[in-house]
Structure 1
């Protein structure tokens, strides 16, 4: 009896594992096809080659660097040895490496929570909107703020008409703490943890774009569900980049640029589709007459 039950449970576990593997493979294939993982890198290149977009970062650089230095130094001073003592039991010699990764991830999260809520919200908003303006997506930006004539993309940004990015939600923090124990699993656990954080991060990268487009909550959810792989890929790359000590501030802005470039490409594609289908609709209307 017990043997039959054990065999049944083993078969069920294999079935679940197979289903999860197929889902993960489909997600990875979707992410690869989308090319969304490239946008954080495109954001870096675009940011470096468009000096006007440096202004928001420059205006917040010193206080954010000070915050980052204090958080990273404090986390390593107070939490490295305690967390190393725990991880060494499950990771062995690799604990020295995995503890560093864990603390960098924890520090990145703390810096994001504080900076995005108190220091960088307006600067990141200007960077995102300014990138859209530089890509001639002014029609979208004008739905959420006034635009001035002349000047560079940042100088053209006027009064905000719609509230900026959503702040770091308590749900995201709870999810972070809930999955933190995954880091006890050697290497693989840390990778899975970063992947989960990336998926959560990906869901928020176009919050401003959805706001400008006036999409309802249900439409946002439907869009994100249909493009889970793409947003997870972007979010994972963005998360890894923002984990880099001190440079994470820079990558936070380049990720905003990358997200805006992606949004501009979506707009351009939709516009081209509308332009290409409109003549066909008119022709059909004429035939109907």
Structure 2
């Protein structure tokens, strides 16, 4: 039994090491930051954000303030027994995470779903991926990249599912473990958020559920690293809305690079064949 435990531990350590190496080599963790820079320098991409700015900022302020008034002190009191001197910081991170989840749930369900789709598609157009975008919507020939976007044919950004919410609640107790638990919580959330960021890309490609799973499994390290960076950015209070849009831009830039590399990289071509 002891030898079996050692073998399993060694295999798991090797798997984590391989995924970490893949994450580093993929440079996917850079795309949320590329998204920020690209968004700032392309004013046409601001339009979907500005159209939803007032109501979503109001929502963000209200939810974050309410969560700190209601949830922060009780959670800090409990964490004082488990986290010691870092309880205040850990409780703040937990409250921000909870606020971010509620804000994303409400805003994506009622306010910004269409705006995020426009941002993703507009970024793809700016990268020359017109043929890909036309798989999901009408595209005109004139104006800037947002003005060219026509009627949606496919509308993929799914609202929060019960399973996603249940997993989030199940992971929450990890935050009561000092430092390591919070890091694990963020990693698990990033593992979920990474593939979700490419929901629109997968739909434009016309991939089935099985094809998506193959693609994500082959690039698990990259998707996890992207998801972690994106999730952490969206934890920043009152900036959640802006980072939701810049992360969408970053995801679209990554998708465009995957498309461009598919014609030149043997590895990407092989991956595309596996996904078919």
Larger radius of gyration: 1
Return the alpha-carbon distance in structure 2 between the equivalents of residues 76 and 171 of structure 1: 26
Which residue of the partner structure matches residue 155 of structure 2? 163
Contact 1:71–1:110 (Cα < 8 Å) also in 2: yes
Return the alpha-carbon distance in structure 2 between the equivalents of residues 29 and 270 of structure 1: 21
| Offset, 1:14 | 4.2
Which residue of the partner structure matches residue 182 of structure 1? 174
Return the alpha-carbon distance in structure 2 between the equivalents of residues 32 and 228 of structure 1: 12
1:192 to 176, 184, 189: 184
Return the alpha-carbon distance in structure 1 between the equivalents of residues 260 and 4 of structure 2: 47
Which residue of the partner structure matches residue 49 of structure 1? 41
2:195 to 190, 196, 203: 203
2:110 matches 1:118 = yes
Q: Which runs of 5+ in 1 are unaligned?
A: 1-7, 278-289
Return the alpha-carbon distance in structure 2 between the equivalents of residues 164 and 225 of structure 1: 21
Could you give the per-residue CA deviations for residues 33-68 of structure 1, whole angstroms, max 9, x where no partner exists? 111001001100000000000000000011110010
| Offset, 1:164 | 3.0
2:78 matches 1:86 = yes
Task: Give the RMSD, CA atoms, in angstroms.
Answer: 1.4
2:233 matches 1:220 = no
| Offset, 1:170 | 1.2
Return the alpha-carbon distance in structure 1 between the equivalents of residues 26 and 265 of structure 2: 18
Contact 1:122–1:164 (Cα < 8 Å) also in 2: no
Return the alpha-carbon distance in structure 1 between the equivalents of residues 101 and 123 of structure 2: 25
Provide TM-score, normalisation by structure 1: 0.89
Contact 1:104–1:245 (Cα < 8 Å) also in 2: yes
Return the alpha-carbon distance in structure 1 between the equivalents of residues 227 and 184 of structure 2: 13
2:63 matches 1:63 = no
Contact 1:65–1:246 (Cα < 8 Å) also in 2: yes
Which residue of the partner structure matches residue 248 of structure 1? 240
2:231 matches 1:239 = yes
| Offset, 1:17 | 3.3
Contact 1:128–1:260 (Cα < 8 Å) also in 2: yes
Return the alpha-carbon distance in structure 2 between the equivalents of residues 214 and 204 of structure 1: 16
| Offset, 1:189 | 0.2
Q: Greater shift after overlay, 60-69 or 11-20? A: 11-20
Could you give the per-residue CA deviations for residues 74-131 of structure 1, whole angstroms, max 9, x where no partner exists? 0000011111111111001110110000000111111111111111100000000000
Which residue of the partner structure matches residue 4 of structure 1? none
